Structure 1
């Protein structure tokens, strides 16, 4: 009888533990949970946190009108991918609500594993309210380097800015400026991407403001852009022996382009005449990212003789497109005669070279002068 009671007690305790575990997970205190939510009528973000690594949990988000009979406006469901342990991971999504009505809305989010709810939460907001914000966004420009935004204040404000680089639902780079301020005039705030981008791929730049007063409000804006490799020529050097160009990276897409140096001899310096092609040199540019610079040098096959030359330098991008073209002039005063005189030793003899007997003309003159000095010395002695 005692053994039966013991078994029943164990079963009851197991059932209570299982019930407590389900409640804990639903309340968001399990291994993975929803830590933070935000939504407006255009987009949303959900921040997840897990105390242990998780793979491909399911996140379900719904946009709901709670007034009267509850109406589901939109639903999205997607996999979370990898969730590292003890790391906050933010997922972003976008609503496509046509002709939205003014009023109250609710974002509902559920984090699930194989249909079981691990955590759920909601966020309420109002669309089209007449409450004025202290900040106004005048312009938002994301590109391959980073993101910039122009803000103007209605009154002095203190706020945080989150900058996000979004690929699909994933925030692949995020940085934050805390306690920024505006007093009376518009200002530009910006951040550079700290992540490599893929050429010709579309990304989304997102900014989210936390305005401290009144009411701890939030403002979020997004803008899409296509990443491109980019660079510019910042400095040029040229003469009759060769040329160089310094290239500055202007993108987080790795620049793997080339420089092409082309020389043309100018037939008529008035600018109306034609130019005769001399030579062209193509040289690879070392891989560049934003604010990296490298100098590329080339040498002509032969030194440019006397005359005026046009130097054309083309910066070629990853796709073979011409990103930038610059032209300058090379003026050489090196005549063909001077070139031969300063050219390399060809083995031809000069008047001071060996006469074939191993004694040079200069040696004979020096020897004769030495003998004359000796005879003069002895003559004075006698």
Structure 2
């Protein structure tokens, strides 16, 4: 009888205590303020009133109570009064049409602090008042081109995100954007310094308010690279100058190479080659770079090649032009110029008149 009682108590213990050891504890100081997902990817926003470290976000996607995939994302630190955004992607093998459920939970070790769910329908076309024509992203920012359906104006909200791994390192929302009659292009520049040759993701989440409210998102990966443009080229026999404009959030720390060639030689003969260091440039910055030739160029025609050179000696932008140096005209001195303007023979006439005047004056005195 005692053995049977022990077995019953053991079974009750197993039923009451979760096998995984997970402890349910709802902490009102941390909350999931936003959760979005489609069949490809999603994002989650967490707000905290306390400082936390070493948390874990567990996200599951399921259909008909069948878990299709689970993602785990670490939160190293979240400060009191701040929120943090994370992005994730799915690799679901079966993408059947129908209702999907995404569940997100935050854990402190094995203790669940908070949880929420999000439902979406995949594969069934919904009525939309806009059409997304194009989405583009690079090291400068992200652009989206939106066209309204004829006669169906719309109001939309856009949220741009810059993602490094699972971390949303930059986000900017534009609300209540009217889309009507014509195509609308919205561009957002990144306000973060990017690392050269590193892969990032650009995300844009679109909330369409009419005729029915729905949310869609687009993801555009890109590799961050240096980018500058050479503009405003000036050149003459003594030197050259250009304006160098930054077009990337990857800092440009290279130089500008000025090369003067005599094109009538085979091969071309290099007359001048000067490298000028550029100051650090980011998107929206510009700087004037000048080069003075070692010796003024002799009369003739020359080919000028200007190159912006970045990391690993990679040429980012190139401009070519012609320098034409004309023969210099020798300017006459003022005395020579005055003599050139006099009429030949006038000096002798002046002398003769002076002599006759002197004779007449002397005759009158006598």
Q: Fold-level match, TM-score > 0.5?
A: yes
Give the alignment partner of residue 288 of structure 1, picking from 281, 292, 297. 281
Contact 2:160–2:202, Cα closer than 8 Å, also in 1: yes
CA drift of 1:305 comes to 1.9
Which residue number corresponds to residue 176 of structure 2?
179
The 2-side partners of 1:51 and 1:40 are apart by 29
Task: Kindly provide the CA deviation profile for residues 167-191 of structure 1, in whole angstroms up to 9, marking residues without a partner as x.
Answer: 1111101111111011133221111
In structure 2, C-alpha distance between the alignment counterparts of 1:184 and 1:302, rounded to whole Å = 61
Q: Which moved more, 1:183-192 or 1:237-246?
A: 183-192
Instruction: Tell me what 1:115 maps to.
Output: 110
The within-5 A match list for 1:23-34 is: 25-26=25-26, 29=28, 31-34=29-32
2:317 maps to which residue?
Answer: 324
Question: After the TM superposition, which of the residue ranges 318-327 and 157-166 deviates more from structure 2?
Answer: 318-327
Using the alignment, how far apart are the partners of 2:124 and 2:280 within structure 1? 50
Give 1:215 deviation, angstroms.
4.0
Q: 1:7 maps to which residue?
A: none
Matched, 1:275 2:272: no
Q: TM-score, normalised by structure 1?
A: 0.76
Match of 2:237 among 227, 236, 240: 240
Q: CA deviation at 1:231?
A: 0.5
Runs of 4+ in 1 over 3 A off after TM superposition: none
Corresponding position of 1:129: 124
What is the TM-score with the length of structure 2 in the denominator? 0.80
Equivalent residues of 2:257, 2:307 under 8 A apart: yes
Contact 2:226 2:316 in 1 (8 A): no
- The residue number in structure 2 matching 1:308 is 301
Distance across 1 between alignment mates of 2:212 and 2:300 = 74
Pairing partner for 1:61 from 59, 71, 87: 59
Equivalent residues of 2:229, 2:244 under 8 A apart: yes
1:316 Cα offset (Å): 0.9
For residues 192-213 of structure 1, the C-alpha deviation after alignment (integer angstroms, 9 at most, x for no partner) is 0111111111100000011223
Q: Aligned pair count? A: 306
Matches within 5 A, 1:301-380: 301-333=294-326
* SS class of match (1:77): strand
- Asked whether 1:86 is paired with 2:84, we answer no
Structure 1 CA distance for aligned equivalents of residues 125 and 285 of structure 2 = 47
Structure 1 residue ranges without an equivalent (≥5): 1-21, 339-382
* TM-superposed deviation, 1:236: 0.8
Q: Which of 67, 74, 77 in structure 1 is aligned with 2:69?
A: 74
Asked if residue 52 in structure 1 is aligned to residue 45 in structure 2, the reply is no
Structure 2, unaligned runs of 5 or more: 1-22, 331-366
Matched ranges for 1:13-24 at <5 A = none
Instruction: Answer yes or no: is the 8 Å Cα contact 1:257–1:285 preserved in 2.
Output: yes
Deviation, 1:232, is 0.7
Q: How does 1:249-268 map to 2 (within 5 A)?
A: 249-267=246-264
Instruction: Look up the match of 1:230.
Output: 227
Deviation for aligned residue 1:332? 2.1
